[in-house]
Amino acid sequence: MKYLLIFSLSLLFSLSSAQVRVEKKQAKEAYHLLNEIRKNPERYKKKLGLFNLNKVTRKSLNWNNRLAEVAESRAKDMAKRNYFDHVNPDGIGPNYYIQQAGYDLNSKWLKNKRANNFESIAWNWPSASDAIKGLIIGKEAPGYHHRKHLLGMDEWNASLYDIGIGFATTGKKGHQKSYLCVIIAKHDW
């Protein structure tokens, strides 16, 4: 029993102290890929199983450093605290952190600390670009909610224009976990 307790504590310590790496280069590559898919959805139709191409917003998203910092922080937090959710273990969602970073949002979007109007997340993809493709394909999310968000395929998502992406990894190569956070937002409403 004593050895089991020591092993459990050492395992818990090693998980909580695992090195988390923020992969900025991969985040930028995913950003460029997403804009390429938005500009040329016909090119990706077969590969990503796209349909209703006329609904894809063809305008490019603008990289926003504040949103990127929030996305990086969110991905890093999920990796450090070993959870995967739009709401962190403290009960706080992305809208709160976006506002705290100085990217002003409509006050209606801040009434609930758990609110998420702007974030898509993915877990355990080999790269940030693969995670973007996975979100667009949408096998894990019925209703293609991430696809609509990333490609601006409805009125709300088409109105969003700024983006920040964070991609964090933890663990040893070959056994690592990854967390992608994509925030696409707007100031005006």
Q: In this predicted model, what pLDDT tens digit does every residue of 33-88 receive, in sequence order?
A: 999 999 999 999 999 998 899 999 999 999 999 999 999 999 999 999 999 999 99
Q: Given this model, what pLDDT does residue 12 score?
A: 41
Q: Given this model, what pLDDT does residue 151 score?
A: 97
Contact between 13 and 159 under an 8 Å Cβ cutoff? The reply is no
Q: Given this model, what pLDDT does residue 138 score?
A: 87
Is 18's pLDDT higher than 90? no
Q: Which residues contact 167 (CB under 8 A, 6 or more apart)?
A: 22, 23, 26, 27, 30, 75, 127, 128, 131, 178, 179, 180, 181
Q: Given this model, what pLDDT does residue 189 score?
A: 67
Confidence of residue 15 (pLDDT cuts 50, 70, 90): very low
Is 3's pLDDT higher than 50? no
Nearest to 180 by CA among 120, 138, 133: 120
